[in-house]
Structure 1
């Protein structure tokens, strides 16, 4: 069971429902539990597909991962990706009918395109960011007013993806500057959309994740920064939710952040 939790990066999934909550808040629509479930299932699908796609390279760079270590077979990883994708599409349809299915279909297509074709190209970070943008729009039911919030979360995700590319070789100055710029863009977008949004928690968490890299950009520190950056998504989402007038939901999201941080020390999130 632990190997399966590692395969789908289970703790990182705590950062996913906040996408749909932020999207719903920005759109002024109710949060649908089924949509949040669909989002989580599609995230798990992407993580499993990632490890199936990377199995040969991981045998060299990340032999501790479930597939190259032999704890999960390649067939099981691929079946998990397919099964979670199908379950996610079904959950979206049940929650929001054809509209939900259509949006979830776009998200699933983006996830599979990233893992199978785009990840190792120059378009990789942008493709990963697009997945999170579509995830927020899934929660918003496609409402245009949610686009700035979706772009903010996408910007932060771009920074995570840029850092993730340095997990095995260490970060360069350009990598660190790119991640910092992505965080600044995310904060600026939320501040512009929701003046007065409580962004201090996000800025502190994201800044702590990146600050140490300037002095020590080795692979171990980069992986730590990626884990902290994933957790930092939660205060960013919470700020957007609060900024759109849903403080109780924002508090609920923030309550999950310490739990996610503890779990990320027990089960790998990157």
Structure 2
């Protein structure tokens, strides 16, 4: 690959925040575990749909924020000129279409969840994220992604509502903290996220297996320390680390949810993604 080609690949990897992509398959796995369904080809279609919709949101996010990033984060791919805004918007549209098409192949129940998921992603990026409803919308999107996995593999998702709520609560906390990434600000969001993490850890360990307890402890260890540091000093660098820690903690949380549903193999498969996500995060920022 030429130097120019390698630079283009890195620019798109930054735009799409590739390390965070590894937090997506666990949604489908946890959703399938919640409805006691074994993985099927439809589960793979669901994972593909989730990956496409997630990356559509990443591309659309930077397209919508290009003017703000020009002032606050000029090194990002769009304001730095490494990726054209039109290309980012086109990618968002194409990835959304691909995500919906894959969900449609997985069946009508999956498409009935993927459609509002895609709508939530677009609504968040194009307006809601700058309002009080932004973190709620992001939490809803993550919860819907877990329900997509359940609907694709079993044609139903009601038993997955509880784990979707837990995952959504974690996402709500991370997204609220992320609002201070560039400016810093109040200590309240990271401290509230720390408290929420403690409550979620407690819920994951009540009356469950040793594996779910160990995974819940891993979740707490990944998220709690950066939240505490940001709470003590809510500067932009420490806030960014808190957001990164919260994103990485999604994987052990998903694994704990699978173990909690009685799917230890699925849990171990999910948590196996964490080391790779960590290595990639050292090369490409997840925030």
1:37 to 48, 64, 74: 48
Query: Within the alignment, does 1:72 sit opposite 2:83 as a pair?
Result: yes
Equivalent residues of 1:22, 1:238 under 8 A apart: yes
Query: Within the alignment, does 1:112 sit opposite 2:122 as a pair?
Result: yes
Gaps in structure 1 of 5+ consecutive residues: none
The answer for the alignment partner of 1:132 in structure 2 is 142
Tell me how large the CA RMSD over aligned residues is.
1.6
Equivalent residues of 1:151, 1:186 under 8 A apart: no
1:2-151 map, 5 Å: 2-31=10-39, 32-94=43-105, 96-141=106-151, 142-151=156-165
* 1:261 Cα offset (Å): 1.1
* 1:54 Cα offset (Å): 0.5
Equivalent residues of 1:149, 1:190 under 8 A apart: no
Q: Pick the structure with greater CA Rg.
A: 2
* 1:191 Cα offset (Å): 4.1
* 1:206 Cα offset (Å): 1.3
Could you list the per-position Cα deviations for residues 199-230 of structure 1 after superposition, in whole angstroms to 9, with x for gaps in the alignment? 11111111122122233321011111111110
* 1:195 Cα offset (Å): 6.6
Equivalent residues of 1:137, 1:147 under 8 A apart: yes
The answer for the alignment partner of 1:215 in structure 2 is 232
Query: Structure 1 residues 82, 40: CA separation in 2 closer, same or farther (over 3 Å shift)?
Result: same
Query: Structure 1 residues 110, 185: CA separation in 2 closer, same or farther (over 3 Å shift)?
Result: farther
1:252 to 269, 272, 286: 269
Query: Within the alignment, does 1:225 sit opposite 2:242 as a pair?
Result: yes
1:155 to 160, 169, 172: 169
Query: Structure 1 residues 121, 195: CA separation in 2 closer, same or farther (over 3 Å shift)?
Result: farther
Equivalent residues of 1:163, 1:171 under 8 A apart: no
Runs of 4+ in 1 over 3 A off after TM superposition: 188-196
CA distance in 2, matches of 1:237, 1:110: 21
CA distance in 2, matches of 1:138, 1:149: 12
* 1:146 Cα offset (Å): 0.7
* 1:52 Cα offset (Å): 0.4
Aligned length: 269
Equivalent residues of 1:153, 1:186 under 8 A apart: no
With the length of structure 2 as denominator, give the TM-score of the two structures.
Answer: 0.89
Equivalent residues of 2:191, 2:227 under 8 A apart: no
CA distance in 2, matches of 1:138, 1:193: 27
Equivalent residues of 1:187, 1:203 under 8 A apart: yes
CA distance in 2, matches of 1:185, 1:55: 36
Gaps in structure 2 of 5+ consecutive residues: 1-8
Query: Structure 1 residues 256, 78: CA separation in 2 closer, same or farther (over 3 Å shift)?
Result: same
175-184 vs 129-138, which deviates more? Answer: 175-184
CA distance in 1, matches of 2:201, 2:230: 20
Equivalent residues of 2:183, 2:236 under 8 A apart: yes
* 1:30 Cα offset (Å): 2.7
